A and B are shown apart, each in its own frame.
Chain A
Amino acid sequence: MRIEYTGLSEMQGSLIALEGVSGVAYDELAEITLGSGERRYGRVIRIDGERVVLQVFEGTTGIDMERVNTHFTGKPITLPLSKEILGRIFDGSGKPLDGLREVFPDELRDINGSAINPVRRMYPRSCIMTGISSIDATSTLIRGQKLPIFSGAGMSHNELAAQIVRQAHTMDTDEQFAIVFCAMGVKNDTAEFFKKDFQESGALGRVVMYLNMASDPIIERILAPRCALTAAEYLAFHHGYHVLVILTDMASYCEALREFSSSKGEIPSRKGFPSYMYSDLASVYERAGMIYGQKGSVTQVPILTMPNDDISHPIPDLTGYITEGQIVLSRDLEQKGIYPPVAILPSLSRLMKDGTGEGYTREDHADLSNQLFASYSAVADARSLASVIGEDELSDIDKLYVEFGKRFENNFVAQGMRENRTLDQTLDLGWQLLYMLPRSELGRVSDKLLDKYYRGVK
């Protein structure tokens, strides 16, 4: 028997409330039919006796209190999944946008997912080579990692993400590889940019896209990453794909969360964001990893534009506390015309220590990377001194550091958008630069490795 409730008792923002309802479950999906016949969807977010509060994904615009019928479906929000989703484009709630029919499901999955049991997690150790020196050498991406790109408005994060997608590969080549792309509140141009790039590189057949544009309803924006990650988990842990998930832009996602929270009348926390933003972001970011006995993996590269380039803003701040490192882009480098403008010092990959070095990449990888960090951080000191006393007055060693810094940025960090460097090329380049400095300055590398690698250009 199909029960429908007619009329509402309250409307506010994207929320509606109904009275006299019974037998409805928390988090259940509801179908809302407007007087015009238009159908929208909503989710139960609060039960208070006979009163039920729903959030409407498509927004409440045009709904009136009388002419509306609500039907509760008796199940949570699920995403229809099958291998057919590869190559398809969906909206934020998983409905087709490409004019093709709905996915005929092999399986319906709750988009909220469940936490991976920590005892079943497999610690990620296998490197993903991106062909980008500033990532491969010093902030190596590991399969199963969540490594966000912290950027700012107007910087080349999209180009960098696209290059990662184009070039990413692992040591094994015959494995199945797929990309899940999730756009949240981005401009149409951005989505087009990625679509075009996937097309040109011939990857489109391996890409699933979930698009929520800047003008789309915010509630869908909150669902979009969950749909994308549900699809990614399905491909990874059901079909054995290695899935790379691009989520852009997490800042829009968080702002949607704030808007939604304030419409619910919740007590705001820092900068008006809800106090549960950490848990909420974790429920997105933690859905990455590898599982014992499973072939596939989920790797996340979320992109977020830091409001006002401020890394201590709640969005990058909470993200950094959850993700396993971050790649930070620098406006300084961008202005110097360096692509990719990766700020080496604040960038970090927490998992690289266990996935690099002998047996994984190359024996000198870890030490070299440490040394590059340390030397480049001495560059910053020398530069700030130079800005006070002038470059000419610097001591000889500080002058060397300033020169090292210049070459490091221009030759090592900078590379072409289509330039795909092998790891050997990247590491050798690093050694070549370190050779500028006297051996006694290289305190982070063992003597054994120095004997082998500290030498001039081959």
Chain B
Amino acid sequence: MDTNSYYVYGVNGPVITVRGGRSLPMMSLIYVGEDKIPGEVVSANGETTVVQIYESSAGLTKGQPIFPTGKPMTVLLGPGMLSNIYDGIARPLRAIADLAGNFITKGITLPALDTEKLWDVKIEAREGGDAKGGMIFARTQESVAVEHRCMIPPEVFGKFADVKPDGQYKVTDVIANVVDGRGKKTPLTLAQEWPIRRSRPCAKRLPITRPLVTGQRVIDTLFPVGKGGCAAIPGPFGAGKTMVQHQLAKWSDADIIVYLGCGERGNEMTQVLDEFAELKDPKTGHLLMERTILIANTSNMPVAAREASIYTGMTIAEYYRDMGYHVALMADSTSRWAEALREISGRLEEMPAEESFPAYLPSRLAGFYERAGYMETLSGLEGSVTVIGAVSPQGGDFSEPVTQNTKRFIRTFWALDRSLAYARHFPSINWTTSYSEYFLDVKDWYEDNFGHGFTKMRQQIIDILGKESSLMEIVKLIGSDVLPDDQKLIIETAKAIRQGYLQQNAFHKTDTYMPPEKQMVMLEVMLYLYEESRKLIALSIPLNQLTETGIFSAMYKMKFDLGEGQTKEYFITLVDDAVSKVLARNE
């Protein structure tokens, strides 16, 4: 390609117009100006090609050179991504800091992987053996927690040749060749490139049957998300979206976490870096950072890279899925991505649709969420990508376009509530407006793993909470004192469920994560108390005699006591004691 004929013609923020030729492919990667700022071709008209660039355009002048690559924007995938932190277009931020210091300066292009590091590689390819796309040909221990399975790029087929023995290799070393029927050789290295905007192929989509177990009671019990499913967390500022995302990234039972900080606060990324380097995965005992990849485009980093960042994150997630891992992708926040889309669309002078978002917002959102799924990979393994997207609706108003369009492509909706957050009820997931369509898909798994009867108990909890919210309408007008005892019991029980069960303290040593079996114990005890109380009420014994024993307050603190090692029997006895005390009083 003739690099000399193209030049910068115009500059308008991150949108650059280029002249000097007509052969720049759409969505191809090009480098702009003397600083070689990366950018993508987004449209062309006659002699003019329009490019969006991923760094500040300050200092660009008309006539500066353009360096086309002819290739789409790709990310280099391979060992060394775990516990790393990248910017929106997969440049390693640690390496950039080593090179440029405390502030991010322009025009630094570095490969995503450390090309000098040697990996202990176990080769599985056999000389002369059949090779096909997606097949695992080598393994290396990427972190203590995760084995990296190097795969043949999806479109490559043939026979293995020139296979190297087990040993230490760099990501760029050729491990083997694949020779196809016509004798064409494709070298295999530990790493491969993949265009970020194209989803990686797999053998087939499988139905969702397992939940992502998160250790968060309100999510696991009431509003689960399936492995391979999509969930959205909308909420006004201060409602705790980021806290929920952090909790899920910490405690969910995914093998790999891709945490995408998209247009959010710099300090939040730092917090993840700090905390995950100290916290341990409750399942494996390894440091959380060993299974985490961070992508940071903080709110003051270039806006065009924000648009690309979710695709970068998704491509990395799909790559690990193809190795047969369950990956959870946390995108915080998709609204910032949509706003980046809007900002660029405005600069391109496109016709705006609702709230001046571009008309293609829904199709872009769909394209992103549909890349999630539970898949059979090309190598016959099972893997999944679960997407959890935070949404930051303007003014906390869920009727705005990003929330509304997102709702069409997700099946679990965790609606965060400002008034719950004000009362410091966290996670502030509102139990009346949230929903999960996955529960039916994963019901059997719950019955087998949480315990028999879980579905029924869950339904009872939902009923009690539902009755409470209609009773509260009355209580607001006349106070709770005048209610009959069976209705008072609903209110007391619902209060215990809300404070004791739904509320979970992310900063508490043990309460931050509650394993399924303990969640089940709590449900059983709370419903046992409810049934016993109903029996008392049937005997016309006033409910306040039971509340005076403090048994309902004990429910509030049960979660902490369970964390300290108390058993189900202990609480059942506690309930029995309280009940017999009341009975004795009424002899």
Q: A28 contacts which chain B residues (CB < 8 A)?
A: 59
Stretch of B205-213, B372-380, B475-483 that contacts chain A: B475-483
- A269-B342, A276-B303, A317-B237 as given contacts; A117 in contact with B93, CB under 8 Å: yes
Measured in the bound complex, the distance between the Cα atoms of B19 and A49 in whole Å is 10
Which chain B residues (532-558) contact chain A, with CB distance < 8 Å? Answer: 550, 553, 556-557
Q: What residues on B are CB-neighbors of A215 within 8 Å?
A: none
Which chain A residue lies CB-closest to B422?
A345
Contact of A286 among B58, B299, B481 (CB under 8 A): B299
Which B residues touch A83, using CB under 8 A? none
Pick from B17, B265, B352, B557: contact of A443, CB under 8 Å:
B557
Contacting residue for B237 out of A49, A110, A268, A320, CB 8 A: A320
Name the one of A50, A114, A269, A354 contacting B105, with C-beta atoms under 8 angstroms: A114
B269 in contact (CB, < 8 A): yes
B: number of interface residues (CB 8 Å): 74
Separation of A47 and B30 alpha carbons in the complex (Å): 20
Q: Chain B residues near A345 (CB, 8 Å)?
A: 422-423
Check if B397 is an interface residue, CB within 8 A of chain A: yes
Q: Does A351 contact B (CB under 8 A)?
A: yes
A123-B270 Cα distance, complex, nearest whole Å: 6
CA of A353 to CA of B266, assembled, Å: 17
User: Is B58 in contact with A26, judged by CB distance below 8 angstroms?
Assistant: yes
Task: Evaluate contact between A46 and B237: CB separation under 8 angstroms.
Answer: no
Beyond A278-B339, A287-B300, is A47–B270 a contact (Cβ under 8 Å)? Answer: no
Q: How far is the CA of A440 from the CA of B477 in the complex (A)?
A: 25
Within 8 A of A (CB), among B232-258: 236-238
Is A411 an interface residue, CB under 8 A from the partner?
Answer: no
**Are B355 and A270 in contact (CB-based, < 8 A)?**
yes
Specify which of A120, A268, A346, A354 lies most central, judged by the most chain B CB atoms within 10 Å of its CB. Answer: A120
Question: Which residue among A28, A266, A285, A321 has the maximum number of chain B CB atoms within 10 Å of its CB?
Answer: A321
Beta-carbon contact of B263 and A348 below 8 Å: no
CB–CB A124/B267 < 8 A: yes
Q: Is the interface of A mostly helix, strand, loop or mixed?
A: mixed
Binary CB contact string for chain A from 2 to 28 against chain B (1 if under 8 A, 0 otherwise): 000000000000000000001111111
Q: Does B94 contact A (CB under 8 A)?
A: yes
B11 within 8 A of A: yes
Of the candidates B62, B267, B299, B301, the one whose C-beta lies within 8 Å of that of A49 is B62
Contacting pair B397 A120 (CB below 8 A): no
Q: Is B274 an interface residue (CB 8 A)?
A: yes
**A-B contact number at CB 8 A:** 211
Contact of B238 among A48, A110, A283, A320 (CB under 8 A): A320
From A61-69, A126-134, A366-374, give the one contacting chain B: A366-374
Give the nearest-CB partner of A343 in chain B. Answer: B422
Asked whether, in the complex, the Cβ of A46 is within 8 Å of the Cβ of B422, the reply is no
Question: Most chain-B Cβ atoms within 10 A of its Cβ — which of A269, A275, A393?
Answer: A275
| Interface residues in B507-565 (C-beta closer than 8 Å to A) | 507, 550, 553, 556-557, 560
Interface string of A82-96 (1 = CB under 8 A from B): 000000000000000
Do A27 and B97 contact each other (CB < 8 Å), given the known contacts A276-B303, A377-B422?
A: no
B394 at interface by CB-CB < 8 Å: yes
Chain A residues lying within 8 Å of B238, measured Cβ to Cβ, are 320, 325-326, 346, 348, 350
**Beta-carbon contact of A118 and B352 below 8 Å:** no
Which of A334-342, A383-391, A420-428 interfaces with chain B? A383-391
| Complex interface: chain B residues within 8 A of A350 (CB) | 238
The docked-state distance in angstroms from the alpha carbon of A110 to that of B58 is 11
Give residues 139-176 of A contacting B (CB, 8 Å).
144
CB of A100 within 8 Å of the partner chain:
no
In angstroms, Cα B299 to Cα A289, docked, is 14
Checking B62, B236, B424 against A50 with a beta-carbon cut-off of 8 angstroms, the contacting residue is B62
Contact partners of B479 in chain A: CB under 8 A: 385, 389, 393-395, 398
A237 at the binding interface (Cβ < 8 Å)? yes
CA A47 to CA B236, docked complex, whole Å: 38
Give the chain B neighbours of A278 by CB distance below 8 A: 263, 299, 336, 339
B186 CB-CB contact with A under 8 Å: no
Q: Point out the residue from B10, B103, B557 that lies within 8 Å of A47, measured CB to CB.
A: B10
Contact partner of B61 (CB less than 8 A), chosen from A25, A76, A346, A351, is A25
Contacts beyond the supplied A115-B301, A117-B97, A118-B85: 19 A-B pairs with Cβ under 8 Å: A114-B103, A116-B102, A116-B266, A118-B93, A120-B97, A123-B271, A268-B356, A282-B300, A283-B299, A286-B300, A289-B266, A313-B395, A321-B237, A373-B424, A374-B423, A384-B476, A385-B479, A443-B499, A443-B557
What are 27 A-B contacts defined by CB distance under 8 Å?
Answer: A48-B12, A50-B62, A115-B298, A115-B300, A117-B96, A117-B97, A117-B100, A118-B270, A118-B296, A118-B298, A119-B85, A119-B270, A237-B102, A267-B346, A269-B356, A270-B394, A278-B299, A279-B300, A286-B299, A287-B300, A292-B102, A294-B102, A312-B395, A317-B394, A345-B423, A374-B424, A443-B553
The 7 closest A-B pairs by CB, nearest first: A312-B395, A282-B299, A27-B58, A320-B237, A286-B300, A377-B423, A114-B103
> Interface residues, chain A, CB within 8 Å of chain B?
22-28, 46-50, 76, 110, 112-124, 144, 237, 266-270, 275-276, 278-279, 282-283, 285-287, 289, 291-292, 294, 312-314, 317-318, 320-322, 324-326, 345-346, 348, 350-351, 353-354, 366, 370, 373-374, 377, 384-385, 388-389, 393-395, 398, 440, 443-444, 446
